[in-house]
Amino acid sequence: MIENEAVLRQKLEYIHNNPVKRGYVELAEHWRYSSAGDYAGKPGLISVFSEW
């Protein structure tokens, strides 16, 4: 359950870093199906709403 912004950030970091941890990419932003690029200011496949 996401109770606050700190927990949200923790979950996003975990999700974004999975492809890096598995050795699929060197940077989370390089994983095509991740929103990590959007949070890094790069365009992604789908627009991500990050303004809460």
- As a whole number of angstroms, the distance between CA 40 and CA 16 comes to 11
For the purposes of burial, counting CB atoms within 10 Å of the CB of 2, is it exposed (0-12), middle (13-18) or buried (19 or more)? exposed
Give the pLDDT score at 16: 93
Question: What pLDDT, in 10s, does the model give residues 1-52?
Answer: 889 989 988 998 999 999 999 999 999 999 988 888 888 888 878 777 766 6
Give the pLDDT score at 25: 96
pTM of the entire structure?
0.74
Give the pLDDT score at 38: 85
Ordered by start, the domain boundaries in the chain are: 5-39
- As a whole number of angstroms, the distance between CA 3 and CA 35 comes to 21
